[in-house]
Amino acid sequence: MKSYGAIILSTLTLCACASNPNVAAQSNLRAASAVEETERGVALSAIGKAQISAGECGMLLWTLDEDRPQPIFQFISGGKADIMHYGSPEKITLVRASGPGGFGVHQDQEFHTGDGSVMKVSVSFGQGFDGGSYLKQGLITIDSPAGMRSVLPAAGIAGCRG
């Protein structure tokens, strides 16, 4: 079994390569990131240390911030997801999941935040590795009760840690 550090390093490399193929793609990511800004600040920002603990399964997602991958979403199967929502750490509740799944996560998931926002996470399962799978073509959409929509591209991993 690969070490957890090697998996994260591989994922960050994959995120950087998959999300940064040319200048046009960089421009698209910056435009998508600009959509997330509101009067209250940035809808999602880095959560700090993101990991799946021993004995758990879940999903970690990153997006580009200043041309560097930043962890913005952590979901542990059977629990709640961790995000940094408008600058405040928040645990959000999974209310719906559909589509193909593995490692305790599904292709399409819907979460609700404390302020009534609806956060939809859509990913495609990619190449597998020992204990997990890379997630690609991810999209996080947040609809606030006030009618604002934030959209962020994402990539990451889903897996179980022994």
pLDDT digits (tens, 9 = 90+) for 15-44: 444 444 443 444 444 444 444 444 456 788
How many Cβ atoms from other residues are within 10 Å of residue 99's Cβ?
12
* pTM, entire model: 0.74
On whether the CB atoms of residues 95 and 83 are closer than 8 A, the answer is no
Name the CA dihedral angle for 40, 41, 43, 44, rounded to a multiple of 10 degrees.
-140
Tell me the pLDDT tens digit for each residue of 102-131: 999 999 999 999 999 999 999 999 999 999
pLDDT tens digits, 80-109: 999 999 899 999 999 999 999 999 999 999
